[in-house]
Every structure is written in C-alpha cells, then in structure tokens.
Amino acid sequence: MKSICVFCGSSMGRRPDYEKAAAETGRAIARSGRRLVYGGAKVGLMGVVADAALAAGGEVIGVLPIALEKKELAHEGLSALHVVSSMHERKAMMADLSDGFIALPGGAGTLEELFEIWTWGQLGYHRKPCGLLNVSGFYDGLLSFLDLQRDEEFVRPEMRSMVAVENTPDALLAAFERYQAPKTPKWIKRSET
C-alpha cells in the first residue's frame, strides 16, 4: 500500500478536533512512508492534511478540477498537482492513484466520494480498503444508518464491513493493512458505467 487518498472538507468545520485530526492524518501517512493523494486545494481540512504531510517530509499529490483552479484554490506547494477537466475525472484519477481511502469529516462532497469508492468496491472494480476517521463521533449518525441498511437487507453484511471505522489515523492505517476484500461477483465492468 503505497498511496492513501483522503477525502475531507474544504472548510474547517466547527470543532478544533477536526483540524487536529486532519493534521494527525497527514503526519501519519507521511510517517508510514506512503504518499497522500487528495483533492488538491489549499483550503479547509484539505489544506491542513496536505500541509501536515508535507511538513513531515511526505509526498503529496493533488487532483483538482480546472474550475476550482481558476478560483485560486489550488495548493501551490505540492509534490505534484494534476488539473483535470471535471469532478468525475478527479475522482477516477484519485481512485487510480490510491491504494486505500480515508474519509475525514466533511460535507456532501466528502460523502459522495466515499460512497462512490465504496460502491466501486462492492461491484468489484477494486479491492482497496476504505474507512472513516470518526473524529469526536462525527460519523456516529451515518454509522447507525449504514447498520440500518444492513439490518433491513439493502446492504449485505460483508459489504457493510468493507468500511473500516477508527478514531485515530494510525489505527485506521493498521486496519487497512489487515483488510481483505470480500469476494464479490463483478456485475458490470467499470467501462460500462
């Protein structure tokens, strides 16, 4: 596992715990010798995670849609920045560059990225781990809902267990090392979506 993608907010959120966790995540990824792949912006938790990884000597790869680059949101100090034409292209490139996916606190975009990568895993497009860093219980409500989906038989138990949940970045990275993807039939090819 050489690269970890982090999905997170473009704002800081209300609690100082979120900023602290983003910085800890960037440092943990760098300390582990892995590179950070993220959305390429300098703002919010995105900027914090990138700056922390860079300060710890890590490699940081950003992927940013051109529309956001034009709004001057691009982080200028990255190891590499890929500017792409759309959000769809951004997510596909981030997925291709990464071996695991962490969702820190964030908004609708963070959830959308997490759910898409989780869905791709369920369909067998990849066998990479994904997980939530549950900072100060941020994801407790979502986890209850995911359990309800499983209990109501909209999500199979083995698919629900694909999403690791930990309270610290080091624990989540350790969970990724133990991860074994469930055997899933490939219903459709990625090129068919």
Q: How far is CA 20 from CA 14, 34, 43, 45, 139, in A?
A: 12, 20, 15, 9, 16
pLDDT at position 178 is 95
Residue 70 is predicted with a pLDDT of 79
CA distance 119 to 62: 23
Name the token pair of 113: 């990225």
**What was the pLDDT predicted at 23?**
98
| Sequence-ordered alpha helix ranges (H) in the chain | 16-31, 44-55, 66-70, 87-97, 108-122, 140-151, 157-160, 169-178
The reported pLDDT for the residue numbered 191 is 66
In one-letter notation, the amino acid at residue 181 is A
pLDDT of residue 185: 56
| List of domains in the chain | 3-180 (3.40.50.450)
Give me the pLDDT at residue 132, please: 98
- pLDDT (tens, 9 = 90+) of the chain, 193 residues, equals 999 999 999 999 999 999 999 999 999 999 999 999 999 999 999 999 999 999 999 999 999 999 888 787 899 999 999 999 999 999 999 999 999 999 999 999 999 999 999 999 988 889 999 999 999 999 999 999 999 999 999 988 888 999 999 999 999 999 999 999 888 655 555 566 5
Q: Which residues of 30-53 are buried (b: 16+ CB within 10 A; e: fewer)?
A: bebebbbbbbbbbbbbbbbbbbbb
Question: What is the model's pLDDT at position 102?
Answer: 98
